[in-house]
Chains A and B, each alone.
Chain A
Amino acid sequence: MSFFFQELVNGVTTGALYSLVALGFSMVYGVLKLLNFAHGDLYMVGAYIGFFVIQWFGGAAHLTIPVPLLLLIMFVLAAGVVGGLGVAMERFAYRPLRDAPRIAPLITAIGISFFLESAALLLFGAQYRVYNTAEFISLSSGIQIGSVTIDSVQIMVLVLGIALMAGLRLLVNRTKLGKQMRAVAADREAAEMLGINVNFVITVTFFLGSALAGVAGVMGGLLFNQVTSTIGFIAGLKAFTAAVVGGIGSIPGAMLGGLLIGLAESFVTGYISSTYTNLLVFGLLIVVMLVRPSGLLGQAQLQKV
């Protein structure tokens, strides 16, 4: 039974991570109706940034600054740089294709994804970069409930993840900017005609979504330790699954989807075997797509004739 709860904790933690990536992905889809295939690679860039910050401050074993400060710098820098990268992507690759048929930005996104992965390979090399989190955040710190351990990294991921999601929810539902985002997502032309600066809203959405992916990348590095140019692809696939299962374009949906995927992964790995994890997650996606294409919390698309 304690094994169940341990897997539950693990699942919720990784779920929070997937939720963050899925959120950004869903937000971008909401305003642009674009599946940004390169979103997973933003996660990868974030992870690399976190790694290089650690190296800059002396490396995992010999840090020159206190750990909380290190973490702060890692997260802020990753959010900023990856957010900026996302904005650049939108500005230079997707904006010219705003009114093109859907296939054009989709293929461009695939191209950007491939390009980012190759660029990472060129700039950072093929070897795995290791965070060595255990060196600066002791594994024994954390809380223990019965025989279930929740270590500090997991706690931090959960707390930060929930905080970010709550903050995003607040932003979208309670602020004027959030209202503008929802308006643009509902009908871009109408929003423009009502005086909303659509380009600005889209830029902000991209920045926020990408920043979330960057932060998730650092979290991923801290949790899973290894960083290489291909982690973005897998993370992206899982984020797609989470976003689509929860209902693409829906923010609570992305959160729910991420949680479900994290839990599914955790339990499958724990109870069956890790070899079938990916297959079963894909299977979950196919089933949801066939039974309820708009996802669990999404809205069905209406077509006007």
Chain B
Amino acid sequence: MSVDQRGAQEPQGPQVGADEWVARQAHRREYLPSWLGRAQRASERIGWWPRLALAGLAGAVLPSFGLGGFQLQVGIDALVIALLAVGLNIVVGWAGLLDLGFIAFFGFGAYGFALLSSAQIGSAGIHLQAWLSIPIVMVGAAILGLGVGLPSRRLIGDYLAIVTLFLGEAFVEFTNNVAPSKLGGPNGITSIDPIRAFGFQLTTNPGYYYLLVIVLVVTMAVLRLLENSRTGRAWRAVREDPLAAAAMTIPVNRVKLSAFACGAMVAALAGTIYAAQQANVFPTDFDTPILILIYAGLVLGGAGSIAGAATGALVVMVIYDGLLRSPAEAGYLFYGLVLLTVLVKLRPWRRLGVVLAATIAFGFAARAIARAASASAVAGGPGSSGWIARAVRDWVIVPANATVAGNFGFVALICLLIALVQVSSRWRTILLPPTLYLASFVWETRLVTEPSVTRQLMIGAILIVMMNARPQGLLGQRRVEVPA
């Protein structure tokens, strides 16, 4: 067979071993499992720009479904984190630079706006209008980004992570301790002006909500244009292989610096709006836990994908803040998530049914045994409220002294979950009902009563589970890494 003949064959549908058809279908592996994947494929037929427009529209229309004051604040916080995640995506997702001090740019933006729009500096203070102060702060952040990026020239991966982490911590220490009269020390800066421009003023929460939706949509659009431009290609090439990129005319260091600068500008933008809306800033607003939130959003949604970053951050923030609301709503979230996971992962349907039935039976049996053994073992009531509490009251064991038992249960649950991942499929089916029951037990005794801790546990769990199970996130592309 001559060489030319082989190359000119037309693909004729599935042929085992012929790489043409496989190559054409390879993209089908990228989607989420089962019906989620079908939804993904359907949405992709719409096209990126129409999807962005639809999402923006949905976001704008959402408040009119009767969002209360608290929910609107949650929405605002979620949008701010989404904007931050989209900015972080430039640095981590595209250029592959693990910046653990990203939060410092957010803080710079917030403090910068605060200093320029309050009574803090000088006798009467500077009260620049937003259309002046925001660009100034963004440019300042870009310069700071260049400064932070300079060490990255000589640092690879892990070292860069440490140095940026320290710079992030240094920012908190700096604003906490240095020049307290100007920067406010631990008490921060208060009475920051709202966003003012050309006679207009934004003073209401709905106003900031709409502003954030617009800013997020515009930023995502700008980044999409950048992604497919020469700059975006250079960023991604630098992530893939800096040595090869340099051999292909790309000035690697300059490109890395531009990634830092762009990410910093987006973060600073988010910071300015945040400062204006909150009307005050404190050093602890920009500490590492917030950074971890942004990373959780980025990792969940998918680093490398603009839509992924925004979606992941929105989901994380809604759950994170949602867990602080009434125990009933938190219960919906918890039981809903558990059931969803089981529904998606457990096949065939018969197995799913057996596991659910077994869980319920196991619960009643365990409770009966516990009640027979000791009355105080079931004396307490479930921590949830609403119809969930009524539903599980006679099913889940809640002792009188819930805290200690719940703590032991928590440790046992972690061990069981680890075991679940390790064992074979048959053992997994057997272990699942007790694990589900134990999860409900721990939820009702401990987790639902301490929402502020539970939500942190959830963030940590997201990071661990996503990296192990689906590192490309929900909407990201699977990456192939060649060992260096």
From B157, B159, B454, B467, A289 is in contact (CB under 8 Å) with: B159
The answer to whether A293 touches B155 (Cβ under 8 A) is yes
Given known contacts A279-B173, A293-B159, A115 and B457 CB-to-CB distance under 8 angstroms: yes
Which residues in B have their C-beta under 8 angstroms from that of A301? 156
Report Cα–Cα, A279/B177, bound state, in Å: 10
Report Cα–Cα, A276/B166, bound state, in Å: 14
The answer to whether B169 touches A278 (Cβ under 8 A) is yes
Chain B interface residue number, banded? 35 or more
Report Cα–Cα, A107/B467, bound state, in Å: 7
The answer to whether B446 touches A122 (Cβ under 8 A) is yes
Digitize B191-227: 1 where CB-to-A-CB distance is under 8 Å, 0 elsewhere.
0000000000000000000000000000000000000
Which residues in B have their C-beta under 8 angstroms from that of A237? 165-166, 169
The answer to whether A123 touches B407 (Cβ under 8 A) is yes
Given known contacts A119-B410, A276-B177, A278-B173, A233 and B479 CB-to-CB distance under 8 angstroms: no
The answer to whether B156 touches A35 (Cβ under 8 A) is no
Q: Tell me if A49 is interfacial: C-beta within 8 Å of chain B.
A: no
Digitize A280-299: 1 where CB-to-B-CB distance is under 8 Å, 0 elsewhere.
00110110011001000000
Report Cα–Cα, A165/B483, bound state, in Å: 34
Instruction: Determine the residue in chain A with the shortest Cβ distance to B156.
Output: A301
Q: Tell me if B42 is interfacial: C-beta within 8 Å of chain A.
A: no
Report Cα–Cα, A75/B187, bound state, in Å: 41
Q: Tell me if B243 is interfacial: C-beta within 8 Å of chain A.
A: yes
The answer to whether B418 touches A88 (Cβ under 8 A) is yes
Given known contacts A112-B460, A114-B292, A121-B453, A106 and B158 CB-to-CB distance under 8 angstroms: yes
Given known contacts A100-B471, A290-B151, A305-B243, A114 and B166 CB-to-CB distance under 8 angstroms: no
From A101, A112, A244, A276, B479 is in contact (CB under 8 Å) with: A101
In the complex, how many angstroms separate the beta carbon of B320 from the nearest chain A beta carbon? 12
The answer to whether A97 touches B468 (Cβ under 8 A) is yes
In the complex, how many angstroms separate the beta carbon of B377 from the nearest chain A beta carbon? 20
Q: Tell me if A110 is interfacial: C-beta within 8 Å of chain B.
A: yes
Which residues in B have their C-beta under 8 angstroms from that of A241? 166
From A93, A115, A119, A293, B154 is in contact (CB under 8 Å) with: A293
Instruction: Determine the residue in chain A with the shortest Cβ distance to B461.
Output: A115
Which residues in A have their C-beta under 8 angstroms from that of B174? 279
From B169, B422, B459, A282 is in contact (CB under 8 Å) with: B169
Q: Tell me if A144 is interfacial: C-beta within 8 Å of chain B.
A: no
Instruction: Determine the residue in chain B with the shortest Cβ distance to A93.
Output: B464
Q: Tell me if B162 is interfacial: C-beta within 8 Å of chain A.
A: yes
In the complex, how many angstroms separate the beta carbon of B477 from the nearest chain A beta carbon? 14
Report Cα–Cα, A114/B468, bound state, in Å: 16
Q: Tell me if B288 is interfacial: C-beta within 8 Å of chain A.
A: yes
Which residues in A have their C-beta under 8 angstroms from that of B156? 301
Report Cα–Cα, A63/B159, bound state, in Å: 46
Q: Tell me if A7 is interfacial: C-beta within 8 Å of chain B.
A: no
Which residues in A have their C-beta under 8 angstroms from that of B481? 100-101
Q: Tell me if A103 is interfacial: C-beta within 8 Å of chain B.
A: yes
Count of chain A residues with Cβ under 8 Å from any Cβ of B?
A: 49
Report Cα–Cα, A214/B114, bound state, in Å: 43
In the complex, how many angstroms separate the beta carbon of A127 from the nearest chain B beta carbon? 13
Report Cα–Cα, A257/B96, bound state, in Å: 29
Which residues in A have their C-beta under 8 angstroms from that of B484? 303
Which residues in B have their C-beta under 8 angstroms from that of A97? 467-468
Which residues in B have their C-beta under 8 angstroms from that of A282? 166-167, 169-170, 173
Instruction: Determine the residue in chain A with the shortest Cβ distance to B289.
Output: A114
Digitize A104-133: 1 where CB-to-B-CB distance is under 8 Å, 0 elsewhere.
111110111111111101110000000000
Which residues in A have their C-beta under 8 angstroms from that of B479? 101
Q: Tell me if B98 is interfacial: C-beta within 8 Å of chain A.
A: yes
The answer to whether A286 touches B463 (Cβ under 8 A) is no
Report Cα–Cα, A233/B166, bound state, in Å: 12
Report Cα–Cα, A240/B166, bound state, in Å: 10
Q: Tell me if B318 is interfacial: C-beta within 8 Å of chain A.
A: no
The answer to whether B169 touches A108 (Cβ under 8 A) is no
Report Cα–Cα, A279/B454, bound state, in Å: 32
The answer to whether A289 touches B461 (Cβ under 8 A) is no
The answer to whether B446 touches A112 (Cβ under 8 A) is no
Per the 8 Å Cβ criterion, residues 244-302 of B in contact with A are: 288-289, 292, 295-296, 299
Per the 8 Å Cβ criterion, residues 62-119 of A in contact with B are: 88, 92-93, 96-97, 99-108, 110-119
Q: Tell me if B161 is interfacial: C-beta within 8 Å of chain A.
A: yes
Q: Tell me if A147 is interfacial: C-beta within 8 Å of chain B.
A: no
Report Cα–Cα, A55/B460, bound state, in Å: 30
In the complex, how many angstroms separate the beta carbon of B431 from the nearest chain A beta carbon? 15
Q: Tell me if B163 is interfacial: C-beta within 8 Å of chain A.
A: yes
Q: Tell me if B40 is interfacial: C-beta within 8 Å of chain A.
A: no
The answer to whether A111 touches B462 (Cβ under 8 A) is yes
Given known contacts A286-B151, A290-B154, A293-B154, A108 and B463 CB-to-CB distance under 8 angstroms: yes
The answer to whether B410 touches A123 (Cβ under 8 A) is yes
Which residues in A have their C-beta under 8 angstroms from that of B456? 114, 117-118, 121
Known: A33-B158, A102-B157, A114-B292. 14 other contacts (CB 8 A): A101-B479, A103-B157, A104-B467, A111-B462, A111-B463, A114-B456, A116-B460, A119-B457, A240-B162, A282-B173, A286-B151, A293-B159, A301-B156, A305-B243
Nearest 5 pairs between A and B by C-beta? Answer: A111-B463, A115-B460, A118-B456, A114-B460, A111-B464
9 residue pairs bridging A and B, Cβ less than 8 Å apart: A106-B98, A108-B463, A110-B292, A112-B464, A114-B289, A115-B461, A237-B166, A279-B174, A282-B173
